[in-house]
Homo-oligomer: A and B are copies of this chain.
Amino acid sequence: MKDIISSTECEHLISSIELMAHHLDSVAKSLDKEDIRQMITYIMEADSIFVMGAGRSGLVGKAFAMRLMHLGLRSYVVGESTTPAVRKGDVVVAISGSGETRSISDLGRITKEIGATLITVTSDRDSTLGHLSDTIMEIKGRTKNDIGGYLERHMRGEYSHLTPLGTSFEISSLVFLDALVAELISITGASEDDLKSRHAKLE
């Protein structure tokens, strides 16, 4: 193995990053602006915003909730210690590539029973979570057709190596949600100084 490592030109690594860049460009083009406007409206009018996801989608959710807090909004991660009960008037954002994650769709159902608003960030509009949601924010999954030109030559036949377990949804939704925060900053006129003053000093 030492030989393999010492001689690698890191092609898989570099192609993976380029492929992700390429994929993000196509995500940017495919977003539904009406859904974005709806999602922004729900978030700006919410009493509190709760975020949930399982596994790596849960980490994406935490990163988003952290930014909403920096922005001055009342935000919580489902399952953390001091997260209160969800009430009518709150918004719950679910993150699930397949839209079928069992624990998350169960919580989506409870969200609707409570009468709160459910937004799902997913690659599959036509899923359990999709059907439960008030707004679906669809983030295109990476498909074979994304790949063109020299990337196609590099990647052919090894596609599955480059997307172990579908990492592209998580990164795309993280980038999308950070970009949504940029839009919220522009709308609310929050300055970077505002954000910095809310940044945790104890960590």
Contact = CB atoms under 8 A, between A and B. Distances in A.
Interface of A: 1-2, 4-6, 8-10, 12-14, 16-18, 20-22, 24-25, 27-28, 31, 33, 36-37, 40-41, 44, 50, 52, 54-56, 59, 62-63, 65-70, 75-86, 92, 102-103, 106-107, 110-111, 114, 158, 160-162, 164-165, 167, 170-171, 174-176, 178-183, 185-188, 192, 195-203
B28 A14 contact: yes
Nearest to A80: B80
A171 B178 contact: yes
B5 A40 contact: yes
Nearest to A25: B21
Contacts of A16: 175, 178-179, 182-183
Given A62-B59, A92-B202, A164-B195, A10 B33 contact: yes
A200 B84 contact: yes
A68 to B, nearest CB: 8
Given A85-B198, A103-B106, 17 more contacts: A12-B179, A12-B186, A13-B179, A13-B180, A14-B31, A16-B175, A16-B179, A17-B176, A20-B175, A52-B202, A68-B82, A85-B201, A86-B201, A103-B103, A164-B182, A165-B192, A174-B174
Contact of A37 (B6, B20, B52): B6
